[in-house]
Amino acid sequence: MSFPFLIFGGMNNNPKYILVTGGAGYIGSHTVVALSKRGYIPIIIDDFRNSNRDVLERISALVDQELIHFSISCQNKERLRGVFSQFPIWGIIHFAADKSVSESVENPLKYFDNNMGGLVSILELASEHEVNNFVFSSSCTVYGEPKKIPVDESFPVSHNSPYGYTKKVNEEMIEQFAASQSGFKSTLLRYFNPIGAHESGTLGEEPNGKPDNLLPYITQTAAGIREELTIFGDDYDTPDGTCIRDYIHVVDLAEAHVEAMNQLENPPTPIQVFNIGTGKGTSVLELVKYFEKNTGEKLKYKIGKRRKGDIPAIFANTEKAEKDLRWKSRLTVEDAVIDAWKFEQFIRNKRNRE
Ligand code: UFG
């Protein structure tokens, strides 16, 4: 069997194939670009339930390799098996999952089915094909409502929603699977709040319908698609009364996955857990102000009621990631709002042309 892409791989003479499930999604697409730039050969698996097929073209325009991609759901083991047989996969980054907290409260079975089922089937194939390097897309939601902040990786895990429950259980599933497989290594990355877009303005977050998350709602309001932003509560016990989150630029987050893959060559322990955030908290009102100041757009907003399930404040202790993963965020919230606004305009222009 020949592998036509082995001639690529930048600085690496023996490039490694990395299967990226959910590789056409928001974080997945940025990670595919970052992997490719660092000499890996990503293989995208996505069923496009929550992403657009034209993302593939836009990723291709940003990388020097011919893009390898398959339209397959993670639960379709037969078709996935074909991909595992076709390529000598070295590692897997598993993003593919449903991710709306509110939807998970209304439809928990969808989350149990896709988030648990998808992981089981990927791990089964990893075992069959002896793929021992696994990076998992987890979330700071596994800390529930922490008793103090910043949170570090030793804090107890809990959950506030069926979505959070799936992430917590997924982490445990990986730990128990690893204990049963000799040589299997995994890094669990607990993301804080990913925002922003690729600096080209051609990759970013494209929510289907009304956005759940703050920055896409802000950019859509500024673009005139939404009438106004509702800030969910200004009576929290925080300096300006609005909730505090740790907003991490998606390009920095993508880099964390590349570092995690590099480190899986020779990790200190089979399972590693890292917080991926900036270590800095930003309130909802501060994010609105950053947006207005850096884009020159005036945002229409009102203060509304608290959103059910929101915690007042959370941000990361990032010492472990800095020390053991040798990763640190580089970009700022200002960079993120500028890039997200650029992407919002790109999407509008694209839709207007279609
Ligand atoms: N917010 C508003 N108005 C909006 C949208 C959000 O005021 O229209 C506020 C929220 O109340 C919250 C903050 O903006 O205080 C951030 O909300 P997001 O929905 O952007 O993010 P969350 O922190 O609620 O959720 C995110 C991810 C989840 C993840 C969770 C972990 O979306 O996947 O972080 O805490 F599980």
Q: What confidence score (pLDDT) does residue 150 get? A: 98
Give dist(CA 157, CA 273) in Å, integer: 12
Q: Is 272 in the pocket of ligand 1 (CB under 6 A)?
A: no
Q: What confidence score (pLDDT) does residue 17 get? A: 98
Whether 239 is in a domain gets the answer no
Q: Which atom of ligand 1 is nearest to the CA of 304?
A: 7
Whether 298 is in a domain gets the answer no
Q: Is 245 in the pocket of ligand 1 (CB under 6 A)?
A: yes
Whether 61 is in a domain gets the answer yes
Please name the residue whose Cα sits nearest to atom 27 of ligand 1: 193
Q: Is 141 in the pocket of ligand 1 (CB under 6 A)?
A: yes
CA of 310 to the centre of ligand 1 (A): 7
Q: What confidence score (pLDDT) does residue 208 get? A: 83
Please name the residue whose Cα sits nearest to atom 33 of ligand 1: 99
Whether 208 is in a domain gets the answer no
Q: Identify which of 310, 315, 333, 337 to mutate to test ligand 1's pocket (most ligand atoms within 8 A of the CB).
A: 310
Structural domains of the chain, count: 1
Q: What confidence score (pLDDT) does residue 200 get? A: 97
3-state DSSP assignment of residue 139: strand
Q: What confidence score (pLDDT) does residue 123 get? A: 98
* pTM (predicted TM-score): 0.96
CA 18 to chain centre: 16
CA of 308 to the centre of ligand 1 (A): 11
Q: Identify which of 101, 104, 140, 286 to mutate to test ligand 1's pocket (most ligand atoms within 8 A of the CB).
A: 101
Q: Which residue has the tokens 């990355």?
A: 189
Q: Is 214 in the pocket of ligand 1 (CB under 6 A)?
A: yes
Give the Cβ contact number of residue 50 at 10 Å. Answer: 18
Where does residue 201 fall: left (phi above 0), alpha (psi -120 to 50 degrees), or beta otherwise? Answer: left
Whether 241 is in a domain gets the answer no
| pLDDT (tens digit per residue) in 200-242 | 999 999 988 899 999 999 999 999 999 999 999 999 999 999 9
Q: What is the CATH number of the domain that holds 41?
A: 3.40.50.720
Token code pair at residue 325:
């993963």
Closest of 95, 46, 345 to residue 200, by C-alpha: 345
CB 307 within 8 A of CB 234: no
Q: Which residue has the tokens 């993120």?
A: 336
3-state DSSP assignment of residue 328: coil
Whether 92 is in a domain gets the answer yes
DSSP state for residue 313 in the 8-state scheme: B
Q: Is 70 in the pocket of ligand 1 (CB under 6 A)?
A: no
Closest of 119, 99, 122, 123 to residue 111, by C-alpha: 99
Give dist(CA 50, CA 22) in Å, integer: 9
Give dist(CA 141, CA 130) in Å, integer: 30
Closest of 243, 232, 236 to residue 305, by C-alpha: 232
Radius of gyration of the chain, Cα coordinates, nearest whole angstrom: 20
Whether 10 is in a domain gets the answer yes
Stretches where the chain sits below pLDDT 50 are 1-11
Closest of 214, 210, 211, 205 to residue 232, by C-alpha: 214
Q: Which residue has the tokens 């003479």?
A: 13
CA of 179 to the centre of ligand 1 (A): 34
Range of the domain at 270: 4-195+248-277
CB 320 within 8 A of CB 153: yes
Please name the residue whose Cα sits nearest to atom 36 of ligand 1: 141
Whether 121 is in a domain gets the answer yes
Residues whose CB falls within 8 Å of the CB of residue 7, separated by 6 or more in sequence, listed in order: none
Please name the residue whose Cα sits nearest to atom 5 of ligand 1: 214
Alpha helices per DSSP H over the chain = 26-37, 55-60, 77-86, 101-106, 108-111, 117-128, 162-180, 214-222, 250-263, 284-295, 319-320, 333-353
Q: What confidence score (pLDDT) does residue 12 get? A: 55
Known catalytic residues are 163
